[in-house]
């Protein structure tokens, strides 16, 4: 038994290059598998966003019909206030992309601050939207007041719900960032949340034009 | 034995290509995009009060704004063309649907 133990080291030494190769190969395979996994998840995320495009198109189409049949209620919409709200949402898109740039550079503080700014801007956007709803309901435009109200509240309400989901997601991402879960090398959680938030911004760009300006 | 020696080198090259593909612009570009987006939003609000020309102008501006966000903030410019196709297809379909139904209502 002792002899066997003594003979083992030289055998292991000759195996070192092969063993190192196996470890290297396994690490490379693991890295490649991880890359594919993220790539597949990213494709899935874009497919989800593509389906959301169709969802919002239906709602925008319904609004266009209601607006064409009842053009008079459009005059009640507050364009200056909504323009400010549009800028707030665009600014939040900038803070989101800044948070991603932060973690890509390994700057966790920048990531946390930018997410916090996004959360604040998101809540301001939501508060202004609620103020607008309150103003419109006082003017008699409600969900059940007619086709215009129904189409308007359904479209902007679903968008608002998406903003709220984005805010909840942002708070989760912030919590994860606070606990040091994101690194320069691994931060797909931030990237996917960012994609969702930017998409919500893109939808608002079209809502702002079609609902308020046209 | 030659294959294992080449494999890590090939993977390194692949990883480098992958990293290059995901090279994102700096913060300066993001700030510039934000300024352009803000400027376009202001132009849009002004255009809303213009007669006749406002329809093509507003639609053009909103598509430009959306495209800037998608290309630069969502980094589609730096992704594989497949993702652009995945997103463009419903966007084009959605535009056609909206354009077709609008005159039907009138």
Kindly state whether A43 is in contact with chain B, defined as any CB-CB distance less than 8 angstroms: yes
**How far is A114 from A92, CA to CA, in rounded Å?**
9
pLDDT for res A28: 57
Query: By the 8 A CB rule, do A63 and A211 touch?
Result: yes
What tens digit of pLDDT does each residue of A107-127 get?
Answer: 999 999 999 999 999 999 999
Domains and CATH numbers, chain A: 2-213 (1.20.120.80)
Contact: A50, B15; criterion CB under 8 Å: no
**How far is B54 from A6, CA to CA, in rounded Å?**
89
DSSP string, B3-21: HHHHHHHHHHHHHHHHHHH
Per-residue confidence band for B77, with pLDDT thresholds at 50, 70 and 90? confident
Residues of chain A neighbouring B89 (CB-CB closer than 8 A): 50
Nearest to A44 by CA among B35, B52, B87: B87
What ipTM score was computed for the predicted complex, to two decimals? 0.80
What tens digit of pLDDT does each residue of B11-39 get?
Answer: 444 443 444 445 677 888 999 999 999 99
Average pLDDT over residues A56-83: 88
Residues of chain A neighbouring B15 (CB-CB closer than 8 A): 31
Average pLDDT over residues A141-149: 89
CA distances from B71 to A94, A190, A195, B74 (A): 13, 18, 11, 6
DSSP string, A111-147: HHHHHHHHHHHHHHHHHHHHHHHHHHHHTT--TTS-H
Kindly state whether A120 is in contact with chain B, defined as any CB-CB distance less than 8 angstroms: no
Residues of chain A neighbouring B91 (CB-CB closer than 8 A): 53
Closest partner residue to A91 (CB to CB) among B4, B34, B66 is B34
Give pTM, 2 decimals.
Answer: 0.80
Q: Which helix (H) or strand (E) holds A155?
A: helix A147-178
Per-residue confidence band for A69, with pLDDT thresholds at 50, 70 and 90? confident
Mean pLDDT (chain B, rounded): 77
- A to B CB pairs, distance under 8 Å: 127
Selected residue with higher pLDDT from A155 and B99: A155
Residues of chain A neighbouring B23 (CB-CB closer than 8 A): none
Closest partner residue to A25 (CB to CB) among B7, B73, B90 is B7
Q: Which chain A residue shows the shortest CA-CA distance from B30?
A: A94
Average pLDDT over residues A179-206: 94
Q: Which of residues 141-170 of A touch B (CB under 8 A)?
A: none
Selected residue with higher pLDDT from B98 and A68: A68
pLDDT for res A153: 95
Query: By the 8 A CB rule, do A199 and A93 touch?
Result: no
Kindly state whether A100 is in contact with chain B, defined as any CB-CB distance less than 8 angstroms: yes
């Amino acid at each position: 038994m002792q002899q066997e133990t003594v003979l083992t080291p030289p055998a292991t030494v000759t195996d070192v290059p092969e063993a190192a190769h196996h470890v290297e190969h396994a690490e490379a395979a693991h890295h490649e598998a991880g890359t594919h996994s993220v790539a597949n998840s990213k494709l899935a995320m874009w497919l989800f966003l593509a389906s959301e495009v169709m969802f919002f198109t239906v709602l925008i189409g319904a609004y266009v019909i209601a607006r064409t049949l009842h053009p008079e209620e459009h005059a009640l919409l507050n364009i200056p206030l909504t323009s400010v709200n549009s800028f707030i949402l665009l600014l939040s898109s900038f803070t989101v992309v800044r948070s991603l740039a932060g973690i890509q550079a390994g700057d966790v503080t920048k990531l946390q601050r930018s997410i916090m700014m996004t959360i604040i801007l998101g809540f301001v956007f939501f508060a202004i939207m609620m103020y607008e709803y309150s103003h419109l309901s006082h003017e008699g435009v409600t969900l059940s007041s007619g086709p215009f109200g129904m189409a308007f509240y359904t479209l902007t309400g679903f968008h608002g719900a998406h903003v709220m989901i984005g805010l909840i997601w942002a708070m989760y991402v912030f919590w994860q960032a606070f606990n040091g879960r994101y690194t320069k090398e691994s931060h797909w959680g931030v990237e996917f949340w960012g994609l969702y938030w930017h998409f919500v911004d893109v939808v608002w760009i079209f809502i702002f034009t079609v609902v308020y300006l046209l | 034995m030659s294959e294992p020696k080449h494999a890590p080198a090939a993977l390194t090259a692949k990883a480098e290509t992958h990293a290059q593909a995901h090279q994102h612009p700096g913060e300066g570009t993001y700030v510039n995009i934000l300024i352009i987006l803000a400027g376009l939003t202001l132009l849009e609000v002004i255009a809303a009060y213009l007669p006749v020309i406002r329809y093509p102008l507003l639609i053009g501006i909103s598509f430009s704004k959306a495209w800037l966000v998608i290309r630069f903030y969502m980094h589609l410019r730096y992704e594989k063309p497949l993702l652009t196709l995945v997103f463009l297809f419903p966007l084009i379909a959605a535009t056609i649907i909206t354009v077709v139904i609008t005159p039907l209502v009138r």
